[in-house]
Amino acid sequence: MTTPPHTISTLPLSWEDVHRDTRILAGMLAELPAFCGIVAVTRGGLVPAAILSRELDIHLVETVCVSTYDDRDIRDPQVLKTLAGDGAGWLVVDDLVDTGATLQVLRGMLPKAHFATVYAKPKGQPLVDTFATVFAQSTWVAFPWEPPGKGS
């Protein structure tokens, strides 16, 4: 499956944008009961997880690996690495929820976790518990850690 034809604009984010927005997310999450650890969704969730780890003073950081993109091609989710348990007490972090395919898989694996993303699009929004900023579904988000010409 390829990039949806309704994608009409690309929004390049800077490191400063991501850092600022992740700190906003941290402020929202700080109001919740403390988490025992963070689960970063690789690869997009690694940078936000590192920032949240510092901001929320959480030292235990794990990863799960679910791949739904190959460049701009969207494909069925592939689970590459999972985490034991039901997610109770854990904060699952990703950079963006787009269609929700990744979080749908992760919610099945870690149903008791709290799911947070820095950015959300309308189709994926119902699958995330906390997010900082919403973008239009038609926006292609280009993160600063991605090679030029690639997107998330």
95 a catalytic residue: yes
71 a catalytic residue: no
The 8 Å CB, 24+ separation contacts for 139-143 are 139/7, 139/8, 139/9, 139/10, 139/11, 140/3, 140/7, 140/9, 140/10, 140/11, 140/72, 141/10, 141/11, 141/13, 141/96, 142/10, 142/11, 142/12, 142/13, 143/13, 143/18, 143/44, 143/47, 143/95
Catalytic residue among 57, 71, 73, 95: 95
70 a catalytic residue: no
Catalytic residue among 21, 73, 86, 98: 98
Catalytic residue among 17, 70, 73, 94: 94
- Which residues are tagged catalytic? 94-95, 98
